[in-house]
Structure formats: structure tokens, C-alpha cells
Structure 1
Amino acid sequence: MTRHAKRFIYIALLMIAACCIAGCGNSKAGLVEGKVNVVTSFYPLYDFTKQIGGDYVNVINLVPAGVEPHDWSPKSRDIKNMSGAQVFVYQGAGFEGWVKDFLGSLSSKSTVRVVEASTGANLITTDENKKEWDPHAWLSPLNAQIMANNIKTALIEADPAHKDVFEQNYQKYNAKLSELDATYKKELAATTKKEIAVSHHAFAYLCRDYGLTQMSIMGLSPDAEPTAQDLKQINAFIREHQLKYIFFEELVSDKLAKTLAKDAKVDTLVLNPLEGLTEDQIKAGEDYISIMGKNLKNLVLALQ
């Protein structure tokens, strides 16, 4: 049996279990009557939806706080919420490996509006045939504007009575993203260095937009195992460009980054790929804009 077939069967069984849990039509835990129920596949989409939908939407973020989303898969309750929501938003560009099977398992009678948020974004290819994409498009504020607009359109379709509110909220948030982009351009244009060493190859969009170059310990997936040659190359990169820091992220182990930093006699800093927030960040009221602001401060520090 192929991996795809196994995953399809897994999703189908989860949908059956979800139906049983929900009582096949009874009220669904997590979903709220009287609001547009939106299920998002991971944090940035959740935040964009909250900013645009405001009080008229109930947003459920699938990936729990503190969990890295690359290899996360939905459970029966998640399937129930996705199937019962008015809108389901996912990143696309290959980020969520489970989405294709979930969508294929939906009933033909399903009324959920499916939004591939990265549609229309300026994507980066990762192979010569242009068939595989770097999914980390949200790390470009310019792409975030496009993704937020896709979400706004779906909310208006789901709840046309509040079109004006959604449009106004989007315009306010879009202005914040424009300001974020302008601040990044201004501050990074003034730095003396343009190279960064990172643990996870997640920052190609940020580098493209603001004239930087990244060298990563791991690949597109943060749990990829680097080879001895990879470590040799990043050490050479650090020496060549006289870097003072290696960036790591908070949702995966920083052990390798800190070991490499010690060997290279450099320090470490956080560069958050915004794939999720920790519980402490949520309690502190952090969001996409504030974390991107902290990222910029650390980039400016490292690039002096």
C-alpha cells in the first residue's frame, strides 16, 4: 500500500470517528453558533483571520501552541472542526502534507469554503522544474498582504452582511503590513552585512525582499539532519563573512545551533519563522506584527 493510500485511509477513519463524536449533526465542540467559523492550519493564517474577522468570526487554529507544524497531522476533533466550519484556510505550496487527503475525503455535500492562502503570492521555487515551492511565503510582508486579502474574500463570501467591516479591518491591517515592509527596507538597507546563518532554511522570502543571503544548517524542514559537509559549509560561510551570530528558532531544539555557534566562536540569536507561538508569547499578546518587529531588531543587531 502506498504512503498516499495509507494517509487517505487514515483521514477517512478520522472523519468517521469525528462524525461519531459529534453525533452526526449535534453541536460541535469548538464551533460557535452565530459566527463565521474559520479553521486555520497554522498560526500566521490564524492571526490574519482574527485581524480581519474581528468579533464576527470564531477562529480555530489547528496546531497547538508550542508545536512545530511541518509534520503535524490532524486528529479526529480537528477533522470534525474542519468539516463543520464555514471556512478552512491552509497555506498550500506544499506546507501541509495532509491537506490533499483531507480535501479528497470531504463529502460532495460539504459547504466549507476552502482557501489556499498562498494563491497569488510571489512564490520561490526550490527545483529547476518549478514544481516544488518554498512554502514559507508568509515571512514576506508583501506576500502576507496577498494572503490576508484571500482570507478577507472568503470571509465576505461566507458572511456578506459584514462585508464593510471585513473590508475596513483588512485595509487597517494591510496598512500595518505596508508599514512593516517599509521599516524592514529602511533598516536593512543601512546594515553593513547582508549575510545570515540560520538553523532552518525558512527565510528565503525575507532574504529576497530585503537583499539578504541565508546559509542554513538544516533544509526547508527544521528537523532535517545536516551532513558533515553541510556543517563544514556553514562554518566556512561564517568565517568568510565574519558573522557574529547564528540564528535559531524556538519551536525546535536549539542544541545543534548552539553547538555549532560554540565551535565557530559566535553567539546565537532568535529569528522566528512564525510557524507558531509559544504559550508565553500568546499570554504576552504577541502576534505576527510584533514578532516580525523582534526579528528585525535581531537582524539589525547581527548585520552590523
Structure 2
Amino acid sequence: MSNKRFFYIVIFAVLAIVATGCASNSSTKDKLVDGKVNVVASFYPLYEFTRNIGGEYVNAINLVPAGVEPHDWSPKSRDIKNMTKSQVFVYQGAGFEGWVKDFLGSLPADSTLKVVEASQGANLIKTSENKDEFDPHAWLSPLNAIKMANNIKEALISADPAHKEAFEQNYASYAQKLTDLDARYRKELALTKKKEIAVSHQAFAYLCRDYGLTQMAIMGLSPDAEPTAQDLKKMNEYMKEHELKYIFFEELVSDKLAKTLAKDAKVDTMVLSPIEGLTDEQVKAGESYISIMDKNLKNLVKALQ
């Protein structure tokens, strides 16, 4: 065998090992686990709430991978298999996941899957006077997050009554953290001089409602909507009228438009996360819903001075 051929064989073998390792690492967290309540969550906040409430008795699976924006994501065959075979499926509802109706309609009549619409009973904001359409970003209100976490807790108890006490205790602990988060927001945002924010994505209506703010968005409820020249002109005028110094953008969507508008308006950009998912860097850093909400608060206070 020639040295050159041997070299290529070795390289191929190494690449195969690396690829196998990557595949196993990426799929391990997506596997169902015997002996635990398997809960599939449609996107990050619901996964985070489930993990905190379920503790050691629950195997939580987040459908949307890190770094992926969930608005237009749809499940693959492996995801559908996991959802079908899990004990609990949690989704946001309020129109957030366009694919859920088809999935639920495909379940067999004898399915024992417990389905949780997390936003059920939360204080939702209507987006249309004539239709029952809602802004789905309810998790950005810590008080709504408490309600959503409670819906998840009830489903876990139903799926695993033997560990009801643990689920109740974990929920009480997490709900207190969310209550404390709400208190921090109320205290700090009550002291700011400005009450208006400029954002790239109209995701913050709940946060604005709870804490007395007003948002002006470049784009609508979907972060990839295309703004018109008139939209950009209105945003520019809004920032000048309210003497705003920042446009907020989010990590999972390109910041190109926000930075272009910021340059034209001679303002800066800053992150305000809708917490629809984490970046790979945030996952590695151990970030959570609460830690990112606290970073959002810090940035809001800075922008509203």
C-alpha cells in the first residue's frame, strides 16, 4: 500500500469516528429514556420550565435545536416519533406552532399522550379585534410563565402521580423565582425616565403590558417578515420623537436590518432576547430563561435612561 493511500485511509477513518461521535452527542439528549416521564417540548422556554419542575423524574426533550429560530421550524420524522412515543407533549399554542394541529390530528385514537397547551389560561393579548387571534409570546411575562409552568406541573402529576410531591415542591420553588423576577422588573422599570423601546421583532407586547412600556417594531409577530420603506420611515421618526438611543435586536435572527436602520438614525444596537431559543454559546455558558430575562432587564434599564 502506498503512503499516500494509507494517509487517505487514516484520514477517512478519523473523520468517520468524529462524525459518529458528533452524531451520538447531538442525538443523546433527544432520546426517550425508560423509567422517566418523557416530555417533548415544542421550543426552549417550555423545555426549561419542564426541566425545572420535573427534576430527576423527567426526561425533557427540546424539539428546536440550539441556534434555530422556532417560528418557521417544523418537526422531522424523528421528532414526530419522539412526540408520539413520549408520555407528555407540551406546546405553546396561541398560534405559535403552525404544525401542531396536523400532528395532533395524526395521533391514533388510542393514543395515551398527554397534550399540554401551555398558554391555556394565561392572560393573552389579542392581535385582532374581529378574530380570536393572539400574540403567542406569552412567556415573556413572568406572571404568564408561572401559569404556563403550572399547566406543565399538572400534566406531570397526571403522568406520574407517584412523584406528585416532588413536582409540587419543584414548581413552588421555580414559581417563586419567577415571582422574584417579576418584582425585579417592576422595581427597576418603574424608575426609568423613558418608557418607549424600538425593537426589530414585535415580540415584547407582554413585557410592555406588564411593566408600562411601549414597543415600536420594524417587523411584526414573525421575525422574518419583510418591512416596507414606510415601516422603516415610521421607525426612524419614532426614534427621533422619543429620543431613543438604541434599537434592540435578537440573537437568532440576522441583525443586518437593525444595524442598517441604527446607522441611518445614528443610534446603537443592543440585544433584547425574546427567549425563543438559546444560541450554542448560551447553552455552553449555562444560561437559562431567568438569567437571560435578567440580561434583558439590564439592557432595558440602560436604553430607557
Provide structure 1 residue ranges, at least 5 long, that are not aligned to the other structure.
Answer: 1-28
Instruction: Name the residue aligned to 1:113.
Output: 114
Structure 2 SS opposite 1:39? strand
- Deviation per CA, 1:276-302: give whole Å up to 9, x if none: 001110111100000000000000000
Aligned counterparts, 1:268-287, within 5 A: 268-287=269-288
- The yes-or-no answer on 1:95 pairing with 2:127 is no
Aligned residues: 276
Structure 2 SS opposite 1:280? helix
Structure 1 SS opposite 2:219? coil
Q: TM-score, normalised by structure 2?
A: 0.90
- Taking the aligned partners of 2:92 and 2:282, their CA distance within structure 1 comes to 22
Q: Could you say what the CA RMSD is over the residues aligned between the two structures, in angstroms?
A: 0.6
Instruction: Name the residue aligned to 2:25.
Output: none
- Deviation per CA, 1:84-125: give whole Å up to 9, x if none: 000000000000000000000000111110000000000000
Question: 1:36 offset after TM fit, Å?
Answer: 0.1
- Taking the aligned partners of 1:229 and 1:266, their CA distance within structure 2 comes to 19
Aligned counterparts, 1:38-77, within 5 A: 38-77=39-78
Instruction: Name the residue aligned to 2:298.
Output: 297
Instruction: Name the residue aligned to 1:172.
Output: 173
Structure 2 SS opposite 1:196? strand
- The yes-or-no answer on 1:237 pairing with 2:225 is no
- Taking the aligned partners of 1:52 and 1:147, their CA distance within structure 2 comes to 11
Instruction: Name the residue aligned to 1:224.
Output: 225
- Structure with the greater alpha carbon radius of gyration: 2
User: Once the two structures are aligned, what percentage of the paired residues are identical?
Assistant: 80
Question: 1:130 offset after TM fit, Å?
Answer: 4.1
Instruction: Name the residue aligned to 1:6.
Output: none
Question: 1:236 offset after TM fit, Å?
Answer: 0.4
- The yes-or-no answer on 1:184 pairing with 2:185 is yes
Question: 1:157 offset after TM fit, Å?
Answer: 0.3
- The yes-or-no answer on 1:146 pairing with 2:134 is no
Amino acid at match of 1:198: V
Instruction: Name the residue aligned to 1:257.
Output: 258
Aligned counterparts, 1:123-162, within 5 A: 123-162=124-163
Q: TM-score, normalised by structure 1?
A: 0.90
Question: 1:131 offset after TM fit, Å?
Answer: 1.1
Provide structure 2 residue ranges, at least 5 long, that are not aligned to the other structure.
Answer: 1-29
Structure 1 SS opposite 2:83? helix
**Displacement over 4 Å in runs of 4+:** none
- Deviation per CA, 1:239-298: give whole Å up to 9, x if none: 000000000000000000000000000000000000000111011110000000000000
- Deviation per CA, 1:140-188: give whole Å up to 9, x if none: 0000000000000000000000000000000000000000000000000
